[in-house]
Amino acid sequence: MKQLLVILCCLFINNSQAQSNKAFEKAEKLYSQHIYKKNSFALKFALQAKNAAMINDDAQQLTRAFYYVANSLCKLDKNMEALQNIESAISYSATTKDIELLQKCFSLKGDIHSELGDNSKALKAYLKALTYSEAIANPDYEIYVLCNIAFIKKVHKDFEEAIQMYKRVLKRLDASNNSTSKKVYKLIALMNIADAYLWTKNTEEAAVFNDEGLQDCCDNSTEWLRNPLLMNKAIIYYQRNQYDNCIAIAKQIRDATEKDKKRALYLTSLFYLGKSAYKLENYSQAIQYLEQTLQIVNTSDTVDVNEKELHEFLALLYNKTGNSEKNLFHFQQYAALEKKESAADLKINNETHKLIDIVSVRNEIDEIKDDLAAQTINKKRIFFAAIVLFVLLIGSVVYYKRREKILKNKFEGVLQKVAKLEKEEEAPKTIPKKEKVTDEKATAILRRIADFEKKEYYLLLECSLGFMAEKLRTNTSYLSKVINTYKKKSFTSYITELRIDTALVRLKNDKTLQSYTIKAIAEEFGFKRQETFSKAFKSHTGIYPSQYLKKLRK
């Protein structure tokens, strides 16, 4: 009898494990079908695979499942959660001998750190992935990792190392059998080699690789790489002093990228239109292009341009046009950036970045500095400056008093708004009459939205349309439609308004919170950047958060 029970137990355990293995394989297959189509579905099946792997307590399955979850989260821009899961995958992989899986884990870890802006950690992960890539017969793994390492090296001004790595990519492509990715990676390598050579002012070598890229960029699968290669061509013309040719191509790039989201390429085209106009002594046109570039840089969180060189050229331009005030302003901005060291560059490369045209520009800047020094000792200028300062002082006093009065009125208006918000917090959360609907599905979503607001999920840094849709058990399209219809605003406006309203109330009533820095307060209420918080606060209330805090502390 006992033996029969043991046999039955063994059969039951084996059957349960077989069922779990079957569930894992099914979830894994569904994940693979959706990962490049619908990431939220891929995440759902990855989590199912993880649950099945945990029942089996299989290290190999757990490694794969956590990798699938991390990959799905990364594609959904939930990078902190993705990082936690890829770390779990790597910890479970300690007992596995699957080199290909280890390569994927460290490669994905590098991608996640790169998305989070930590290139130092990304580089370490990619280097680990490279060691596994070299042990795998498939060269595509090595090519992908080499491209990422080379890009980080280029970003941090290690141009020679980046060039060598991209050339290594070109050699490894000969062994690749993937014709589609082979063409794309070749163009990426050629484009970046040309770009790196341009940074080092090796114009002739840049032209060789860039021209090859333009010749190969001839079908729809690689059309998206054509504009970056053309921008390289424009910079090549600029470095050869062929400014009219540079302007012609830069205008073409500007017009092609103005309406889409490729803002970095759009900014680069404006930048070189301005630089070329300066070289052709068309100073008013150059100022227009470069001021437009600076305005976009100052108002955007996602674009970047060589800000130091931008201020250099603006300083030179305003010197040429006799605007000493703006000349001095941009010179001071340039000087401040000149002193600022990049810790990330030193950490990764231990070398500094040489700007294009830096020697000639610095010589001109030095001449301006000498002129300004000579002007300061001129008695007439000193006397004139004293009169101007006196007038400014009187004007400042008048302006300050008027500004304080306006600020006081705005602050009182904000306090009235806060009082109203506090009363609304005390009242039970219901769907207002104006939001009453007959659509049961919409009604259910609105109730969940009310619960979402009550639990203050909107204060989380990772709160996005996808995050909220997941919490409310709906899809992003329908949630967006409900918010637009019944909240009468976009999702971004809706979340921002909730965050600012909550900030207003809590800052008024929490003395400890009032002692925080603006950056810390921004993060407390769900904003990743201090500038974004300040801009939203000002738009919502008419005053900046620093002004609000100053009044509260009195």
- Counted residue by residue, the chain has a size of 554
- The answer to whether position 375 is within a domain reads no
The last residue of one of the domains, among 110, 136, 162, is 136
- The answer to whether position 54 is within a domain reads yes
- Domains identified in the chain, total number: 2
Helix axes 226-239, 203-216, angle to 10 degrees: 150
Range of the domain at 505: 411-553
Rounded Cα distance, 511 and 518, in Å: 14
> For residue 37, what is the domain's CATH number?
1.25.40.10
pLDDT of residue 360: 36
Helix axes 59-75, 39-56, angle to 10 degrees: 160
The DSSP element (H or E) to which 338 belongs, if any, is: helix 324-339
- The answer to whether position 118 is within a domain reads yes
- The answer to whether position 263 is within a domain reads no
The pLDDT tens digits along the chain (554 residues) read 445 444 445 544 455 566 778 888 888 888 988 888 888 988 988 998 889 888 888 888 888 899 999 999 998 999 999 999 999 989 888 777 788 888 889 999 999 998 898 988 999 999 988 888 888 878 888 889 999 999 998 888 899 999 999 999 989 888 777 766 888 888 899 999 999 999 999 999 999 999 998 998 877 777 788 889 999 999 999 999 999 999 999 999 998 888 864 578 888 999 999 999 999 999 999 999 999 988 888 887 665 667 888 888 998 999 989 898 888 998 888 888 776 645 445 555 543 333 333 333 334 334 433 544 555 576 567 777 778 888 888 877 778 777 777 877 777 778 788 878 877 766 555 555 444 555 789 999 999 999 999 999 999 999 999 999 999 999 999 999 999 999 999 999 999 999 999 988 898 888 899 889 999 999 999 998 999 999 999 999 899 999 888 888 87
Q: The pTM is what?
A: 0.57
The last residue of one of the domains, among 105, 136, 167, is 136
- The answer to whether position 426 is within a domain reads yes
Give the three-state DSSP class for 425. helix
> For residue 529, what is the domain's CATH number?
1.10.10.60
Cα 154 to the chain's mean position, in Å?
18
The last residue of one of the domains, among 136, 159, 189, is 136
Give the three-state DSSP class for 203. helix
Could you give the angle at the alpha carbon of 519 between the alpha carbons of 515 and 520, nearest 5°? 55
- The answer to whether position 323 is within a domain reads no
Cα 283 to the chain's mean position, in Å?
33
- The answer to whether position 417 is within a domain reads yes
- The answer to whether position 435 is within a domain reads yes
